[in-house]
Amino acid sequence: MIELHLRKLRARDDISAEEEAAIRDAVSCTRSYRPDELVVPARQQTSGCTLLLAGIMARYKDLRSGERQITELHVPGDFADLHSFTLKKLDHHVTALTACTVAVVPHEKVQAITERFPHLARVYWFQTNLDAAIHREWEVSLGRRTALQRLGHLFCELQARLALVGLADATGFDFGLTQSEIAECMGLTSVHVNRTLKELRERELVEVRNGRVSIQDLQGLQRAAEFDPAYLYLEKRGG
């Protein structure tokens, strides 16, 4: 059930059997969410962290105009709000974009684990720093990349993150977001996303259709989007 999460952790660090047992023990209950259902509201006290098992979630902030900016997408195996352990109240909302199932880990369990296993504390600290690295890369997209590069980069990022947990290969991945939601990620309008997807299709780089991102030319896409996966820290580290 939390296999994808362990897979994600073990892609970067060694996790002992004892540590694994502690993580498994920490999961209290599971829940399901429908598309567009709010999972964690901003500004409210939180009491646990949400481990995404299936589906796509998003962190977002909204503006007075009614628009919203999605600041990160979450894929299975991710904690959507591990930072709620230290922040207690979030500065953003967390919502399910597609149908999702999650496991909940109470903050006390996180505290117990991190105090008993300082190594796991660093592993999870690392995971929140990885979120920050993803935020930084999105800042680059939002600030300096063209619409074509933004979408290309987003698909490259998702391909890499999903491949890490076995949910994508070089030919693509399932991806049920609407063009409006993609627009909310990349600071564009849905109309412009539509035109840009058309261009990506015409250039024979990616095709997005029927809830699937079909990558025709991964290398070409990465080149066009100036994608360098280093910020995702995909390689195994010291231990």
Partner DNA sequence: CGAAAGTTTGAATGTGCTCAACAGCTGTGG
Partner DNA sequence: CCACAGCTGTTGAGCACATTCAAACTTTCG
> Would you count residue 15 as binding DNA (CB under 7 A)?
no
> Would you count residue 102 as binding DNA (CB under 7 A)?
no
197 makes contact, choosing from its own copies, DNA, none, with CB < 5 to 8 Å by partner type, with DNA
Give the shortest CB-199-to-its own copies separation in angstroms: 19
Quick one: 72 or 181, whose CB is closer to its own copies? 72
> Would you count residue 210 as binding DNA (CB under 7 A)?
yes
What secondary structure does DSSP assign to the chain, as a single string? --HHHHHHHHHHS---HHHHHHHHHH--EEEEE-TT-EEE-TTSB--EEEEEEES-EEEEEE-TTS-EEEEEEE-TT-BS-TTHHHHSB-SSEEEESS-EEEEEEEHHHHHHHHHH-HHHHHHHHHHHHHHHHHHHHHHHHHHH--HHHHHHHHHHHHHHHHHHTTS-BTTEEE----HHHHHHHHT--HHHHHHHHHHHHHTTSEEEETTEEEES-HHHHHHHHT--GGGG--S----
> Would you count residue 16 as binding DNA (CB under 7 A)?
no
> Would you count residue 32 as binding DNA (CB under 7 A)?
no
Count of beta carbons in the 10 Å neighbourhood of residue 100: 24
Q: Which of 10, 116, 135, 195 binds DNA (CB under 7 A)?
A: 195
Give the shortest CB-147-to-DNA separation in angstroms: 4
Residue among 6, 5, 10 at smallest CA distance from 234:
10
Contacts with its own copies by CB under 8 A lie at: 43, 59, 61, 63-65, 67, 69, 71-72, 83, 85-88, 91-92, 114-115, 118, 121-122, 125-126, 128-129, 131-133, 135-140, 142-145, 186-187, 226, 230-231, 233, 237-238
Quick one: 128 or 189, whose CB is closer to DNA? 189
Enumerate the β-bridge partners of residue 74: 57
Give the shortest CB-46-to-its own copies separation in angstroms: 13
Quick one: 17 or 118, whose CB is closer to its own copies? 118
Of 2-10, 161-169, 203-211, 230-238, the segment contacting DNA by CB under 7 A is 203-211
Contacts with DNA by CB under 7 A lie at 146-148, 178-180, 187-192, 194-198, 209-211
